[in-house]
Amino acid sequence: MPFDPAVIRASFAVVERRADHLAKYFYTHLFAHNPEFRAMFPAAMAEQRDRLFAALTELVGRADDSARFAGYLRTLGRDHRKFRTAPEHYPAVGTSLIAAVRHFSGHSWTAEIEKAWTEAYTVISQAMIAAAAAEPAGTPAWWEAQVTARRRAAPDVVVLTLAPDHPYPYRAGQYLSLCSPRQPEVWRPYSIANAPRADGTLELHVRRVPDGLLSTSLVNDVLPGERLRIGAPLGDCVLEPHPARPLLAVAGGTGWAQIKALIDELAAQGRALCGVRRTTVFLAARSEADQYDLPAVRELAARHDWLDLVLATPAPGAGRERASELLRDGLRARGGWAGHDIHLSGPPDLAPEITELLLDLGAEPELIRHDPVPLTLNRKRPLTSSEWFLDQRDIAWINRTDLG
């Protein structure tokens, strides 16, 4: 590593307790010296500051692991193309970052620390620039996609069909990031709910998040005919090609979207190969009303004899904990899960809880797949520096690949 990770970690420990102040200083410095940059960011900057500090924390934490450090930077570099980030932007960002860390380091700042941060940022910027440049010629930085249909599936869930303006290459099981002119420069990740189609359309399942900027617009306001912007596909929770192992998929809430896409691909493989491996899907919801795609679920179960679909839905009023209990009981009742490929998709706490259970039931850890999940469901913004330091939080809208 061409910089000293130990120096970076020690320096970061001094400033991390003032995370929000540091991020505010960084963006104030950046926009004061580069006012043309302001249009590249959302109007409300609180979440953007969270994302900046989350990224810094990830980089500092990975600094001793060159493979994970490099992989994270490749993801950031490719993904930042959709923000219109160009090589000429990086020096200004580096200047403002070092100015912010220096300011909040106080008397602990030294020439050695400045040298380490300068060297680290050089590595970071060069890796991100190289990752963006390595994208195949002609690959868009983003796609414009028209909303061709919308369906209110539940009071807080909408199913959108999008038609990208250029071919959109992806695999079933991946997700995309999306923004709308109604909330400029606010990007959120959503699973694609179908395998690639002949007409190129994409299906997204969007749940309204309390106080969510983009999800509220998508669920309440966006209409057919509007155009949205989508980033390149992300995620590696795809099916292995033609495996002989049976498949178990566990989904909760709108996590069904990712599993629905995998079933779509399995059906296409079956038509090509004259047979499909046995697939079991457990679909959990906190209430019957929350099984928002039930007609499609039942149609899939009726159409495919290789598909076994199990619903885990509690009685009215029982709530989320009872749904989780039903799901766990159902998985135990079906016996051991050794030798199964396993895909998990749903709320952030689903994958850790179900992984632990399935390992006890014989599942092999190397056969379990899910998108990276945050460490906590705590999504409140801290009000004091001590809360920033003590409370781990879910930056709910950060690309899940960023967390992997």
The CATH number of the structural domain formed by 143-230 is 2.40.30.10
Q: What fold is seen in the domain 247-369? A: Rossmann fold (3.40.50)
Residue 356 pLDDT:
94
- The 3-class SS string of the chain reads CCCCHHHHHHHHHHHHHHHHHHHHHHHHHHHHHCHHHHHHCCCCCHHHHHHHHHHHHHHHHHCCCHHHHHHHHHHHHHHHHHHCCCHHHHHHHHHHHHHHHHHHHHHHCCHHHHHHHHHHHHHHHHHHHHHHHCCCCCCCCCEEEEEEEEEEEECCEEEEEEEECCCCCCCCCCEEEEEECCEEEEEEEEEECCCCCCCCCEEEEEECCCCCHHHHHHHHCCCCCCEEEECCCECCCCCCCCCCCCEEEEEEHHHHHHHHHHHHHHHHHHHHHCCCCCEEEEEECCCHHHCCCHHHHHHHHHHCCCEEEEEECCCCCCCHHHHHHHHHHHHHHCCCCCCCEEEEECCCCHHHHHHHHHHHCCCCHHHEECCCCCCCCCCCCCCCHHHHHHCCCCCCCCCHHHHC
| pTM summary value | 0.84
pLDDT per position in the chain (404 positions), as tens? Answer: 578 889 999 999 899 888 888 999 999 999 999 999 999 998 888 878 878 887 888 888 888 888 888 888 998 898 899 999 999 999 999 999 999 999 999 999 999 999 999 999 999 999 999 999 998 888 899 999 999 999 999 999 999 999 999 999 999 999 999 999 999 988 989 999 999 999 999 999 999 988 888 999 999 999 999 999 999 998 889 998 767 789 999 999 999 999 999 999 998 887 555 456 889 999 998 887 789 999 999 999 999 999 999 998 887 777 778 888 999 999 999 878 999 999 999 988 899 999 999 999 999 999 999 987 654 445 555 555 455 545 555 544 444 444 43
Give pLDDT, residue 60: 87
pLDDT score of 19: 82
What superfamily in CATH does domain 5-137 come from? Globins (1.10.490.10)
For the chain, the structural domain boundaries read 5-137, 143-230, 247-369
